[in-house]
Structure 1
Amino acid sequence: MKFRLSALALLSATAGCTTPVAQVSPPVPVGVASFNMAWAGTEADFTTHLAMCTAVEWCDTRPRRKQGETTPSPEAIATARRCEAAIDQFAGGARQAMQIAPCNAYKGRNAADTVTLANYQKKLAGLRATIASLIEKDGVQVIAFQEVKSDQVIRDVLGVHAATFDVCYAPHNAFQTVAFAWNKAVTQKPGQCASRTELAVAEDPANPANFRTVRPGLALELTIHGQPVTFMNVHLKSSCANLKANGPFPARTLDDADAACRVLNRQVPALEDWIEAVDAKSPRFVLLGDFNRRIDEEAAETLAPMQVRTDGSDPAGPNKKDGLGYVASKYLWQEISDGKPTLHQVPLSSLDTGCKGFTGLDHIVLSDALKALQTTATLTSRKVPVVNEPRQVIETSDHCPRIMTLNL
């Protein structure tokens, strides 16, 4: 016997039975910060610095120009070279000397005798208080550091929070490198760190004997809200910052003949390849750190694709290197955010009272996929002041931390 249910009977039979609906949990808010800590090392690192600079009478390895001079005099160049030789002799060689902070590293002193361990300890105390405020007041859970010597100094300045944070850093052949600290509770799987040594390009690629390189990058992959997210920490070559002239800082594009711009130019393809590799693997990523470039000025320029490179080629296409690694790139931002992938700068909404130091160099940039997760239409970040004691001789830092809350 066959049974046929009417529509009404079928509706009655299924009353009260509903199809389960997958519950989508809301995004997890995660505080993120980028903080350049200005030649931060351990007390032992500083003690070595102090001994070296005392031995060489606080000389400077940079040739000094007198007022009105466009280039240093032969005498100034000779003086700087004698200083460099004395430092190398103290350290046991040029490579070893690169692991010691130079004599002009710690600002704010009036005379050499004010650079004491006690004064450096105040700098460390200021860093410790600044980071404690980021964690306790601002809810920061992931911090990208620049200008640090090692993972040990990060643990030192984390202070009472060292037990709840994991740390990694990018080993480098010079004092300054980059590092991360992250709250262990923010990730469902242990964090994975990887140095990006391809960003550490040679200062002088035409010299086969050159061993001086700029800083590497560092990637940190965390699992947040069940999905991977990659944080990419950079500290790019300095002294080629401005697209628009500002006081003593000239306007320069990356094809400029200036030596610093030439180094930054050779970092462009390495950075772009890294971004594209991360995007292909996991499109949720954050690029942050000290770019040493006003990419906000670049982004404000209205440029046709053919204007981004000197050869007129499309920035979304291959970027050909010459024999020394130079490329045709004139603009950093238009190269890395060329639509493959598209990136989004997080603008600075406010500068907290008391925040001094460099502006326009530290940035936070989001991938397109990560921007889509944010619940507010307008992305914002802010800078918060570092902690300094009154009349502190060695300043805590010449950068302010840049922070934001991300929905992940």
Structure 2
Amino acid sequence: MRRTRGSSTRRWIAALGLAALGAWSAHAGWFDGGRKTATGAGLSLATWNLEWLMTPQTQAELSARCQRQQPRSHERALPCTPGRKPPPARTQADLDALARTAQALHTPRRVDVVALQEVDGPDAARQVFRQGWKLDCFERRAHPQKVGFAIREGVPYRCNSELSDLDVDGGSRAGADLTLYPGTAREVRLLNVHLKSGCFRGDLDRAFSPCRGLQRQAPVVEAWIDQRVRDGVAFAILGDFNRHLDQDEHRSAGPDESAPLNLLPAWSDDQPRGAVLHRATAGERYLPCDADDRHSRYIDDILLSDGLKARHENRRATLRLTRLPYDPQDRGRQLSDHCPLIWSAE
């Protein structure tokens, strides 16, 4: 239940609104169309979990026959587990508010691509990404929580085969795989992930099902990373890691590569040489999505390959991270428990 709006909350909302407005104004130049065209080398990536985004028709149909347990990947169903928050039922006003956020990613920010999580395919995404976007490369599972991409129109891309091995137990999400600017000097490979939830911190070898599931997913991602390094391809991994990677990176990967103790030290181990990742959120304070955001650490992130980071540093690009909070005027609407996280090199 939402809290009653007291004077302190109103001040907080006003401050958030001013911060968001300032961020939008101060950073508008990052994605200025003329400058980006002139340099021909800028890149902007975003990730956004849209919390069970589906069409109203799908919502109504699946809610009428929901099941007590989380559906498997092959099941076209919704959960209605007692005591747990159900998937949000959104109104047109809710979708319009989300669409305004998506439009801000397109203009003036000119984000190249948004990695989407918890979206029931292109039809669902089109309710939010209405103009100026291609909606493609979604995983093929029947379950309404899917990963895929919104690519700004005019940006060349290629969909690669989904990383189906990430579904380690028949009930997990695959990875969506995309190449931007294929066949050019700007080519970059992107992997969109939404990993197992529930094991946000601590070693993965605990007798706790979410940790064990995440531990099984870790070598699948590592194999994808290692292959990209061997191919000599710049890449990034975006999405909802369901993990506090800022804590993770200070812990040990352990001796067993097939069952690592922590994610980031396993992936960023310089084996093969060059398998080094950089967190976009490193050193950044947590920015809340709205006045009701009670998190203090990111679980969404963008992991940049050493080659991708060096590419932009070598041309003396300005590397920036920001978050796009929701408009305080939309407080109380059914939006999402995540908001867009954006990394740019200009």
TM-score, length-scaled by structure 2: 0.76
| 2:306 paired residue among 368, 372, 376 | 368
Query: Is 1:181 matched with 2:137?
Result: no
Are the structure 2 counterparts of residues 97 and 45 from structure 1 closer, same or farther at C-alpha, using a change threshold of 3 Å? farther
For 1:137, the aligned partner's letter is P
Count of aligned pairs between the two proteins: 295
Deviations 1:241-273 (A, max 9, x none): 12xxxxxxxxx2111111100100100111110
Report runs of 4+ in structure 1 exceeding 4 Å deviation: 94-97, 376-379, 387-391
Aligned to 1:71: none
5 Å-filtered alignment, 1:269-284, equals 269-284=219-234
Q: Go from structure 1 to structure 2 and tell me whether the alpha carbon gap of 1:235 and 1:95 turns closer, same or farther (over 3 Å shift).
A: closer
Alignment equivalent of 2:267, drawn from 311, 325, 336: 336
1:132 Cα deviation after fit: 0.7
User: Aligned residue for 2:34?
Assistant: none
State the distance in 1 between where 2:187 and 2:123 align.
27
Select between 266-275 and 368-377 the one with higher mean Cα deviation.
368-377
- Determine the C-alpha separation between the residues in 2 that align with 1:353 and 1:198: 32
SS in 1 for 2:342: strand
2:171 counterpart (213, 222, 225): 213
Structure 2 counterpart SS, 1:396: coil
Aligned match of 2:160: 193
Structure 1 match to 2:18: none
Query: 2:222 and 2:319 mapped to 1: Cα distance?
Result: 23
Deviations 1:26-63 (A, max 9, x none): 5521221100000001122112134336xxxxxx83xx
- Residue 237 of structure 2 corresponds to 287
User: Residue 166 and residue 151 in structure 1: after superposition, are their counterparts in 2 closer, same or farther (change >3 A)?
Assistant: closer
**Structure 1 unaligned spans of 5+:** 1-24, 54-59, 62-83, 88-93, 108-114, 203-211, 243-251, 314-318, 321-326
* Counterpart Cα distance in 2 of 1:171 and 1:97: 9
Equivalence for 1:403: 342
- How far apart, in 1, do the equivalents of 2:87 and 2:164 lie? 27
- State yes or no: 1:267 paired with 2:237: no
- Post-superposition Cα deviations, 1:88-118, rounded to whole Å, max 9, x if no partner, equal xxxxxx76994233233335xxxxxxx5xxx
Instruction: Write the deviation string for residues 56-76 of structure 1: whole angstroms up to 9, x where unpaired.
Output: xxxx83xxxxxxxxxxxxxxx
1:277 and 1:105, CA in 2 relative to 1: closer, same or farther beyond 3 A? farther
Q: Match of 2:225, as an amino acid? A: I
Structure 1 residue aligned with 2:320: 380
Match of 2:46 among 12, 15, 33: 33
Write the mapping of 1:208-357 to structure 2, written as runs, cut at 5 A. 212-223=170-181, 226-242=185-201, 252-299=202-249, 301=250, 307-309=252-254, 312=255, 319-320=257-258, 327=259, 329-340=260-271, 341-347=275-281, 349=284, 351=287, 354=290, 356=293
1:141 Cα deviation after fit: 1.8
Q: CA RMSD in A?
A: 2.8
Cα distance, 1:191 vs structure 2: 2.1
Amino acid across the alignment from 1:147 = E
How far the C-alpha of 1:181 sits from its partner, in A, is 1.3
Measured at CA, do residues 365 and 353 of structure 1 come closer, stay the same or move farther in structure 2, by a change above 3 Å?
closer
Q: Is the 8 A contact 1:215 1:235 kept in 2?
A: yes
Q: Matched residues in 2 for 1:34 and 1:268: separation? A: 20
Partner SS, residue 117 of structure 2: strand
Retained in 2: the 8 A contact 1:126–1:388? no
Say which SS state the counterpart of residue 344 (structure 2) adopts: strand
Aligned ranges for residues 94-109 of structure 1 at < 5 Å?
98-103=75-80, 104-106=85-87
Structure 1: distance between partners of 2:322 and 2:95: 23
TM-score under structure 1 length normalisation = 0.65
Percent identity among equivalent residues? 29
Query: For the structure 1 residues 387 and 215, does the alpha-carbon distance in structure 2 shift closer, same or farther, using more than 3 Å as the test?
Result: farther
Structure 1 residue 336 displacement after superposition: 0.4
- Which amino acid letter does the alignment assign opposite residue 76 of structure 2? Q
Deviation larger for 275-284 or 172-181: 275-284
In structure 1, how many angstroms separate the alpha carbons of the residues matched to 2:159 and 2:65?
A: 37
The one-letter code matched in structure 2 to 1:308 is: A
Deviation track 1:314-349 (CA, whole Å, cap 9, x = no partner) reads xxxxx34xxxxxx2x111100000012111111264
Structure 2, gaps ≥5 residues long: 1-37
Identify the match of residue 132 of structure 2 among 133, 143, 161: 161
Instruction: Name the CA distance, whole Å, in 1 between partners of 2:237 and 2:303.
Output: 5
How far off is 1:392 after superposition?
3.6
Judging changes above 3 Å, is the alpha-carbon distance between structure 1 residues 377 and 161 closer, same or farther for their aligned structure 2 residues? closer
2:269 is paired with a residue whose SS is: coil
C-alpha separation between the residues in 1 aligned to 2:330 and 2:308? 41
Q: Secondary structure at the match of 1:160?
A: coil
- Shift of the 285–369 alpha-carbon distance from structure 1 to 2, 3 Å rule, reads same
Code of the residue aligned with 1:240 in structure 2: it is C
Please give the secondary structure, in 2, of the residue aligned with 1:123.
helix
Contact 1:132-1:158 at 8 Å conserved across structures: yes
Contact residue 357 and residue 399 of structure 1 kept, 8 A: no
